[in-house]
Amino acid sequence: SLEITSGAEMAQTNTVGFVGAGKMATAMAKGFIESGLFHSSNTFASCPANWDSSEIQEAGVTVYDENAQVAEKVNILILAVKPDVVKEVLQELSATIAKRNLLVISVAAGVAIESMEKALEKPARIIRVMPNTPALYPGYGACVFCPNSICTSEDAALAEKMFSSLGFCSQIDEKLIDAVTGLSGSGPAYVFTFIEALSDGGVKMGLPRDLSTKLAAQTVLGAAKMVTASGTHPAVLRDAVASPGGTTIHGLHALEQGGLRNAVINAVEAATKRSTEMG
Ligand code: NAD
């Protein structure tokens, strides 16, 4: 059974295994181990022998070439394979998942809970998680999770604890997951574009590129920090820095003329619709 008391006790009692040992598995393993939620000796992964798994091994994770070797050792099994591999992995491990009553967590984009349930012979506790790429740096991820109907409140609390170690984490209804994909899933790419444009503006006004990009990125990081740390509505923060007749209000007017807000809303809408089509 799962224990969720304190982080330290959780590390003693729970074992976690990743099926797939790529970028996302490595990011999660690092976050879980660094935050003390799991001991590296309780953290396992599997991937085909011909794939490079050196990075996750450097994080202290023991890697096997057979998925079953991991499923036999753990009580939490995290599917961190590409979406098109999820079904075959579930079919392969179906008997072990049932026999050992494993909690199954999937981070695969676009793979619905229902399709995972159908791939298993017996009902299992499944949690679908949608993380984003900044989770590669523990503390900077934004992720949501949805437990299936037979998960207990302990399972949900455990998922919350685990994924909070990667950054912001919230439980949602699965019907909202496409919108989350359109916002925080695809969002880093929108923000990269904004940072690049901000840097271009600096270069146009005479700043060297390197300095300009560093200032642009740090400005985005700092503004995001102000929103998260203060909990204040962004409009209030914006108003506070726009002094009458000053530089900022002139800049803001130019942004409105360029339709920034409209473009960003359209981006979230377009990506959400695309995610719906793919799911
Ligand atoms: P990746 O290519 O880095 O890793 C995939 C891993 O799966 C590799 O280690 C590979 O060896 C392994 N693998 C392939 N076939 C396997 C099999 N049959 N059994 C066991 N392991 C197998 O991919 P990634 O970027 O880590 O993405 C993994 C999942 O995470 C995807 O489903 C993706 O949708 C999801 N995801 C990733 C990100 C991200 O930021 N990278 C964000 C959100 C969601």
* Residues of the chain with confidence (pLDDT) below 70: 1-12
ipTM: 0.98
Predicted pLDDT of residue 13: 79
Pairwise CA distance, residues 37 & 59, whole Å: 14
User: What value, to the nearest 5°, has the Cα angle with vertex 148 and ends 69 and 132?
Assistant: 75
Q: What dihedral angle (degrees, nearest 10) is formed by the CA atoms of 128, 134, 138, 139?
A: -90
Mutation choice for ligand 1 from 81, 96, 128, CB with most ligand atoms inside 8 A: 81
Q: For residue 109, give both structure tokens.
A: 């984009």
Q: How far is the CA of 273 from the centre of ligand 1 (A)?
A: 23
Mutation choice for ligand 1 from 18, 23, 44, CB with most ligand atoms inside 8 A: 23
Q: Is 245 left (phi over 0), alpha (psi -120 to 50) or beta?
A: left
Predicted pLDDT of residue 12: 66
Q: Is 20 in the pocket of ligand 1 (CB under 6 A)?
A: yes
Q: What is the DSSP string of 17-54?
A: EEES-SHHHHHHHHHHHHTTSS-GGGEEEE--TTS--H
- The backbone torsions φ and ψ at residue 234, rounded to the nearest 5 degrees and listed phi first, read -55, -30
Ligand 1 atom with minimal separation from the 47 CA: 21
- The backbone torsions φ and ψ at residue 246, rounded to the nearest 5 degrees and listed phi first, read -90, -175
Q: Is 23 in the pocket of ligand 1 (CB under 6 A)?
A: yes
Q: For residue 95, give both structure tokens.
A: 């008997």
Beta-sheet strand order (sheet of 125-130): 62-64, 43-46, 16-19, 76-79, 103-106, 125-130, 141-147, 167-171
